[in-house]
Structures are given as structure tokens and as C-alpha cells.
Structure 1
């Protein structure tokens, strides 16, 4: 994405914060604008003006960024990337913010060059997330589930989903058909593929909270009282990616 085409919403229209950030980004070639730091103003701007990146402090006047992102997930599938600013650095808060779906966390004092670099980086990820490219969509979704890419199960799950998107009948024969296909591609055995995927899912269940998992996979929170099986997990990922690819129109409500 060309830097001059990146549209940035700053969730604060005060001179000491929002307009200062907007001015610094405009000087660096971005399209930057401010809105008041209320839930209504920010949601309206996101739904109607479609910014690529949203920059806001952790606490807004009537809500917080984590709650805002959660609410937006139920309104549109094309969320912008979020950069969250904080007056202090706290690893626990940063972890919660990133799990909610934010792309970057930055504590004060703000380095505007670092902020500009972050805007470029997260806008590229946002464009990938909102595209119809299956590989990008699958990768983005697996990352949101907190499965680290160094695990073999990460790669196996990714390949499983892509293969099932090409041939849905593989979902009916996962143990012998799909695992066998993945094993052949990776010069291993179906049993090791199954075990690596199960380990990756267990890792997701340890690292991510159930509500975040339900949000990513598009199911009710109550469905995840127990960890899904490998086949259930893969099928849910496949269905969610198919829905995103086939959704050609997104209804964007106006908040009255």
C-alpha cells in the first residue's frame, strides 16, 4: 500500500494529543484526521470513512479500545488495523490489547518516526486481512488464535485449511485422506501430523481466552466449553474463511 494512500483515524481531536499526532503523520505523507474520542464518533468514522489504521489511547471518554474492537467485530468483517497508545508500559495490558485484535502497542513518549513505521507495517497487514486471498486470510486467522509459527502444527493447520478450501471432500476423510496428504508433503507420518496439530490447538487454548477464540472462529462462546477436536477445529477454520471469501457486500450500519 502506497504511504500517500494510507488513511489514518486518530481517536482524539484535542490539540495536545490528536491534532499533534495527525499533523506529524501528515508531514510524513499520510492522510490523517481526528475525531472525538467517543465510541459513537469512532464507530461512525470506521464504518463510513473506512480508515486503514486507527490510532487511539487505551482509554476513551466512554469506553476503552478493547471493548471497542470487540463491538466492531459484530458490525463489519473489514476492520482497520489498530495502534493502541498508552501513558505507561505494562506487559499485562499490552498482552490483553494485542489479544483483543490490536496490531501494535506503543507507550509514551511517542516517537513519531516509529509511529509512522508502525502505520505502514500494520496497514499492510490490514490490507491482507481484508483481502480475498485464501493464504493471507488463513495466516491472519491462525495468528489471531495465538498459535506460534515455529510449531509444526501451525504449518500443518495452515496447509490443511488451504487443501480443504480447494477440495471440501477432504473434510470427510481427515484421518487417512487429509493427514496422509499433509504427511506426504512434509515427509512425515499421518500420526505425527495429527499429534502436531493437536499440540498447536492445545497451545491456542492455553494462550488465548475462549471469547477471543469464539470471535475469530465465528461461534458462540458457550460452544467452547471444551477444546474442539482436530477435525472440528479445521472445519471451523475452513467455514470461516469460506464465509469471508464469499462475502462480497458488507452492510455498514449508521450509529444514530
Structure 2
């Protein structure tokens, strides 16, 4: 939306999804935040596209599964538009495959959340995306490696293992260069393999083993808080890309300077 700055007006959000309960829950939670006015909703992809182009919202929250036009196709259609230039895009999905993670960022999303997630996780994510409550655009000086170490140790990645070191390096590089999210297997893994004198296959397997160890022996309450879904055998463990992307999201949001 043009005109007044974010600090001088209520923010506009557009929420798109196939479930009425899901949409109204997101709407209610955003409207509880003082920065937002009334939020617009859409129950299909084409309705979301029309409202996006007419409202030019500050925030688009969309599921991938939408009637008529799916969420990724919606992002593809709005990518590069004038409205998209000043809009933060948050994808909410229950899918966590490597291909979905790559497509989400390739099509212009800023962050994604794996459903279901808590109100607190949603609020923290939105505050970070829109630099609310005193958050500034820059990151806190220094401390990136220690923050990464603190998070992955608490998750339960075995310290000293190859998977731990590979994951730590991968997360740092993804924070520094978000475009690598679309090139995890083609560029990031080879970079790690070269740095540590390993192979791409071993890098992938060692990160996988570290994740599986964490899910079996780590802090499940913390894991559930971070990843937004109940940790059990039926849900399974996130893919390498989904794991790395979720931790990167958390690190980036937590490192905005808050006065």
C-alpha cells in the first residue's frame, strides 16, 4: 500500500487458504497485533490474485493448496508486480519436501511455516518480517555462529559429529546468502564437501544422520516449538532442506535488532 509509512498507518494483510477455520484463525491472530487493521481473506487462488492486485497488501499469508490456482502459481503470477515489491510473503504448508522448499523461495516467498504452528510462532515470524515492535532492518553485530551453535545444540545435533559441523556451516551460508536455498544440492553441498574434504553424498548423509539423531534424542519440546508440528513417527522428520530452512528462518528472525 502506498502513501503513509508503516509507522503511520495500520498494516494490511491478505490471507489465502482452503480451510475456513484456518483462515479465520490466522485473521484473528493478526488482527490481535496492534500494527494490523482488518485483514482481507480469500478462499481460492484466483480470488487471492484479484484481491492482491487491488489491495497491494503489506503481508500475504497463503497456503500452497488453494482452489483453482495453487499457492505456488499464485506467487508466480504476482512475482515482479508493483504490489509484490512492497509485500512480504509468508507460505504456510504441511509439506516439507526438498522440492517444495526450493520452489517456495524460488517463487519469491520470504519465509515459510510448517503447519500446524502456534500463535507465538506466527506473531514472532510476522514481527520479524515487517520489522515491527522496534525491529530494524539490520542484524545484530556478531554472534551469528554462537547463535547457530546454540540452536542446533539445543535441538540435539550431536556436537563433534560431521553432520553437526556440516549443518552449522550450511546454516551460516544460508543466512549470509538466501539464494543458496534454491541450490542446496547443486551448490551448497559441493561447497561444504570441498571445504571439509568430503563428497556431496557424504555431506547429505551426515546431515541426515544428525537430524535423525536429534529427533530421537534431542529436546522434543524445543523441536516442536521451532518446527511447528508434533514430533512423532507418523509425521516423520523434516527433509534436510526443510530442516535447514526452518533453522535459518528462526536465526534470521531472532537476529533483528529490537530496541
TM-score (norm 2): 0.45
TM-score (norm 1): 0.45
Asked which structure has the greater RCO (Cα within 8 Å, sep 6+), the reply is: 2
